[in-house]
Amino acid sequence: MKDENVNQEDDKKLDTTKQDKETTDEKASRLRKSSLKVKDKKKTVIPNREDKTKERTAKEKKDTKKTEEKRRTEENKEKGKIPKAVRETNPKTTPSNQEKSTSSILPKKISNLGWVNRSCVNDQAVKNRVQDLLSSRLIHADHQVEWLARSIQCIDLTTLAGDDCPSNVARLCSKAAHPLSDDLTRALQIKHGLLTTGAVCVYPARVADAVLGLERLGANIPVASVATGFPTGQTSLKIRLEEIEFAVANGAKEIDIVINRELALSQNWGELYNELVEMRKACGESHMKSILAVGELCTLTNIYKASLVAMMAGSDFIKTSTGKETVNATLPIGLVMCRAIRAYNRKTGFKVGFKPAGGIRTSKDVLQWMTLMKEELGDNYLTPDLFRIGASALLNDIERNLANYTTGGYFLAEEMPMA
């Protein structure tokens, strides 16, 4: 009986071990299956992520495409209204500037308005620099004759009087073609007809008379005309543009336009730029000189900013004043404008000319201005391609000083031929 009980207990133990084995086998198979499911799940999850990233990138591409198209359409809308900076055309293409001459290229859009707004001028530093130039940079008396003779080539001989008529203009053209008397030309050993002024400057109504007068003399001198409601500019933009077109149609090769001072004083540089661009278009192949009317801009900083905007809009020259303001061309103002020209040249590679006008009446004045040009902008700015002087009485004083030098005598202004 004992043996039977033992056998039964052994059988029970075997059954329990079998059951345990089965349960462990079942657990193992269950775990295997669950791991396989997890693997499958992992496999299925990965491609879903890839699909999502693909969808996201496709969406982003579409969005960027849309924004790009939007930007292009906006740019196309703005074309013609706000042309792009920056350009510059030299008044006469010299070999060094021939490759960079851009008379046929117009600006498309102002992109450096931040540069204009950030600009600031240190007034005291300007005064110190001018004093240094006047005290330490002097032209030796032996060389003054050559400097004065060269300055004649840079003069825009001007008549802007209310009583201008064909005879006055004809006399002015004759003086421009032969600025010195024959005796003085021979004494200075200058070939006859070689020395002329840079240009003849008149009102738009007198352009045709000036062109005719120079043709009769056989002189190859450009005719410059003031325009755009000179000297105040207080007319509508349409009328100002028509005045430019009238002067160009009559034969003017250079147009002296006046900027809108209201826009400059209110710091509305974008609108001023747009107006100047329209004027540049109206000038066509003729060179544009922008008159800043510095005496009405109040501060040197405003003058600097206006100079930058005028150059960005395509001006071939920037000019100090009309000659009708209370403050005209002074050396501190000239220094600020020269620094603007230099900064613009460094930034863009283009050279813009400079024209001081108003208040330059004596040989001493012109020598100081030429010294400033040489020191600040270099020898290239002592030629009529990049430097002009707006004057009417200056030539008379230069001729008198040259006569005093050659003859050893002293001549009065009244003894010189009329300009």
355 carries an active-site annotation: yes
Answer yes or no: is pLDDT of 288 > 70. Answer: yes
Q: What is the pLDDT of residue 121?
A: 95
Answer yes or no: is pLDDT of 17 > 80. Answer: no
Q: What is the DSSP letter of 195?
A: -
Q: What is the DSSP letter of 188?
A: T
Q: What is the pLDDT of residue 181?
A: 87
Q: CB neighbours (10 Å) of residue 172? A: 26
Measured distance CA(389)–CA(232) in Å, rounded: 20
Q: What is the pLDDT of residue 416?
A: 72
Judge whether 147 and 369 are in contact, CB under 8 Å: no
Q: What is the pLDDT of residue 316?
A: 97
Q: What is the DSSP letter of 286?
A: S
pLDDT tens for residues 329-371?
999 999 999 999 999 999 999 999 999 999 899 999 999 999 9
391 three-state secondary structure: strand
Judge whether 110 and 84 are in contact, CB under 8 Å: yes
Q: Model confidence at 410, in pLDDT bands (50, 70, 90)?
A: confident
Q: What is the pLDDT of residue 71?
A: 63
Select from 179, 210, 70 the least CA-distant residue to 398: 179
DSSP for 289-323, please give it. Answer: EEE--GGGS-SHHHHHHHHHHHHHTT-SEEE---S
Q: What is the pLDDT of residue 74?
A: 60
Answer yes or no: is pLDDT of 389 > 70. Answer: yes
Q: What is the DSSP letter of 102?
A: -
Active-site choice (209, 355, 374, 385): 355
Q: What is the pLDDT of residue 105?
A: 40
| Section 258-271 average pLDDT | 94
Distances (CA, A) of 226 to 139, 205, 254, 290, 323: 33, 10, 9, 10, 12
Select from 331, 231, 229, 228 the least CA-distant residue to 278: 228
Q: Which domains does the chain have, with CATH numbers?
A: 113-407 (3.20.20.70)
Cα 136 from chain centroid?
31
Select from 299, 152, 306, 319 the least CA-distant residue to 230: 319
Distances (CA, A) of 224 to 160, 398, 400: 12, 22, 26
For 381-391, letters b (16+ CB in 10 Å) and e give bbbbbbbbbbb
Active-site choice (175, 305, 319, 351): 319
In terms of pLDDT, which residue wins out, 272 or 108? 272
In terms of pLDDT, which residue wins out, 322 or 76? 322
Q: What is the pLDDT of residue 89?
A: 35
Can you list the positions of beta strands (E) in 121-198? 155-158
Answer yes or no: is pLDDT of 169 > 70. Answer: yes
Regarding pTM above 0.85, the answer is no
Q: What is the pLDDT of residue 93?
A: 39
Answer yes or no: is pLDDT of 83 > 80. Answer: no
Select from 262, 302, 287 the least CA-distant residue to 355: 287
Answer yes or no: is pLDDT of 207 > 70. Answer: yes
Q: What is the DSSP letter of 83?
A: P
Q: What is the pLDDT of residue 137?
A: 86
**Torsional sign, CA 194, 195, 199, 201:** negative
| Section 168-185 average pLDDT | 92
Answer yes or no: is pLDDT of 54 > 60. Answer: no
- Mean pLDDT over all residues of the chain? 81
364 carries an active-site annotation: no
Answer yes or no: is pLDDT of 100 > 80. Answer: no
Highest mean pLDDT among 74-83, 91-100, 294-303: 294-303
Q: What is the pLDDT of residue 309?
A: 96
Beta bridge partners of 287: 254
Q: CB neighbours (10 Å) of residue 171? A: 15
In terms of pLDDT, which residue wins out, 12 or 300? 300
Lowest average pLDDT, out of 182-186, 241-245, 267-271, goes to 182-186
Residue 73, by phi and psi: left (phi above 0), alpha (psi -120 to 50) or beta? alpha
Distances (CA, A) of 103 to 79, 119, 206, 284, 350: 19, 28, 25, 8, 12
| Section 27-55 average pLDDT | 50
Lowest average pLDDT, out of 26-40, 298-312, 313-327, 375-389, goes to 26-40
Active-site choice (175, 209, 253, 256): 256
- CB-side neighbour CA atoms (13 Å) of 45: 6
256 carries an active-site annotation: yes
Q: What is the pLDDT of residue 215?
A: 95
Is the bond preceding residue 86 a cis peptide, omega within 30 degrees? yes
Measured distance CA(86)–CA(30) in Å, rounded: 77
